[in-house]
Structure 1
Amino acid sequence: MKIAVIVALAVSTLATPAQASEVFGGLYVHGVDTPLTLGGSPEGGIDFQLGLRGDQIIPGTGLEPHLFAAVNSKGDTSYLSAGLSWKFGDKLYVRPGLGLAVHNGSKADFDKPGNGRIEFGSRLLFAPELGIGVRVSPRVTVEASWVHLSHATIFSGQNPGIDNIGARLNLRF
């Protein structure tokens, strides 16, 4: 557990923007079955997501650091993610991103099937995401997004992963 806290602090300081330029929040369906999850998820509920996005790292590139937390309504896996996203477009846009996440779910309990939790195989996971959004005012955008958590079989042979799909509201300062 101490290692997870240290990793979370390190990841958050690396990607924490010097000055947040945007705050966002959203609701996500937790444990959506997609081809990337390798079967149905035993977890469910709604994730409440809250985060910050920083100014562009290199002006004009659309590359922005982000930090967000997702808390699950049923007490299933919650996580903290930090990384980078790239925004392509303005009025209508696409925002792919990649981060690292630390979670409070099961790490590796493969010998206890049917325990109702996803067995991720690692406390630290990759967190790719994809958002498609629209600007509704100069400071407000709304986007549909997908967030995936897994370790890509790097830390163990088992890699069930989880997909969360939802919508978020972004408010630029």
Structure 2
Amino acid sequence: MVRFSARYLTVFLGLVLAPPAHADEIYGGFAAHQVVTIIAIDSDADSVDLQAGYRGDGIEALSAIGTPSPYLLASVNLSGETSFAAAGLSWKFGDRIYVRPGIGIAIHDGPRLEFAPDGSQRQLGSRVLFEPELSVGARLSEKVDLEATWVHLSHAGIFSRVQNPGLDIIGARLVFTLP
């Protein structure tokens, strides 16, 4: 698992350090890993994720569905728990204060089989997962926003018949608009 997580760290550093050619925004932040919500169960994995991402300009060819922006997200768990990389589309509603829902596909390095103390399975069930996310943001300056974020990983019973506990991650990001 360490070798696979090192790949995520490489992606993360590449997103943070490499200047994107045509990026609209880059972002980074911290998040609480495996938060208990109504759609995800507790895994006793209290830890922190380091996240970094990129959002491109809106895709005009998709204007019929609101001109979404493509995004890439890398999330590295600092305690060796599940890390992941995702790609998808997001929409921005508002300006100074805004909401940004998104939907993507993620690949993760979590365990293939894991059991809770009560004997129930708690792994994610598939390497490929849906990755819906929601951010609420505020413009701090012309070039910097602050976002509160929620990211969910789940296969929704589609990619596998194995139990699907889901994984919820809640945190904060600084978003930098590029010239």
Is the TM-score greater than 0.5? yes
**Aligned residue number for residue 55 of structure 1:** 57
Where 2:52 maps in the other structure, the secondary structure is: strand
Residue among 19, 24, 29 paired with 1:21: 24
- Structure 1 residue 42: Cα displacement: 2.7
Aligned pairs for 1:3-152 (under 5 A) are: 19-37=22-40, 39-58=41-60, 61-107=66-112, 109=113, 112-114=115-117, 118-152=122-156
Q: Does the 8 A contact of 1:44 with 1:76 survive in 2? A: no
Distance in 2 between residues matched to 1:149 and 1:159, nearest whole Å = 10
Q: Does the 8 A contact of 2:85 with 2:107 survive in 1? A: yes
Say how many residue pairs are matched. Answer: 156
Unaligned runs of 5+ in 1: 5-16
**Aligned residue number for residue 12 of structure 2:** none
Percent identity, aligned pairs only?
49
- Structure 1 residue 78: Cα displacement: 0.3
Unaligned runs of 5+ in 2: 5-19
- Structure 1 residue 44: Cα displacement: 2.3
- Structure 1 residue 43: Cα displacement: 1.9
- Structure 1 residue 19: Cα displacement: 2.1
TM-score of the superposition, structure 1-length normalised?
0.82
Alignment root-mean-square deviation, CA: 2.5
**Aligned residue number for residue 9 of structure 2:** none
Q: Does the 8 A contact of 1:18 with 1:54 survive in 2? A: no
Pair 1:84–1:18, CA change in 2 (3 A)? farther
Q: Which runs of 4+ in 1 moved over 2 A?
A: 59-62, 112-115
Where 1:50 maps in the other structure, the secondary structure is: strand
